[in-house]
Amino acid sequence: MADDHDLWERICSRDADAFEAFYRDNARRLCGYLRQIVGNAETAEDVMQETFSQIWRTPNGYRAELGSLRGYLFGIGRKRAAEWWRKRERIPEEQHENSETEVVDSSARLLAIGDAFSRLAEEQRSLLWLREVEGQSYAELAAILQIPVGTVKSRLFAAREALRRMWNSSGKAARSKR
């Protein structure tokens, strides 16, 4: 947290080199996460760029005691993605057709997990992605999703079970080919 605190201080003092390093360390990961939320790579990059621009324009609101700077970044990114959905006047659950066609790896098993994952509700996708891929702690997940820490455990369980059911129903055939 001390490093994050120092980095944040530098960002707040308009240190462009520090912000560039912050961008390079996190842009791809944030893009990967946002792609799961908005459903396509192009929009994900736009939202990612807006997220960094917003933080650079008005660095505001990060509190080191609540979690990592990366967690804060992902929380802002999630809010921007939610704004994007609101402007589209669509619900996130409609996206899975896009997600399916967006999966780059053509192997059947990645299609299976991608298909099952894209059918989850947005919060479940966020929880699983941030936990499994980004390795965020329960406390950081609570801060990003703005839910109590105690709720993280039960919602993660619900998300895993939902994914497991869909994965088993849609992916067994694919996995059996391995």
Residues at the interface with other proteins (CB under 8 A): 12, 14, 16, 19-20, 23-24, 27-29, 31-32, 35, 41, 45, 48-49, 52-61, 76, 79, 83, 86, 102-105, 109-110, 112-114, 117, 128-129, 131-133, 138, 153-154, 156-157, 160-161, 163-164, 167-168
Nearer to other proteins, 4 or 66 (CB): 66
Minimal distance, residue 149 CB to other proteins, in Å: 11
Q: What is the closest distance, in whole angstroms, from the C-beta atom of residue 43 to other proteins in the complex?
A: 13
CB of 174 to other proteins, least distance (A): 11
Alpha-carbon 116 to chain mean position: 17
Give the list of residues 6+ apart from residue 176 with CB closer than 8 angstroms, or none: none
CB 136 within 8 A of CB 167: no
Cβ neighbours of residue 98 closer than 8 Å, sequence gap 6 or more = 39, 40
State the minimum distance, in angstroms, from the CB of residue 1 to other proteins: 19
147 — alpha (psi -120 to 50), left (phi > 0) or beta? beta
Tokens of 87: 């402007």
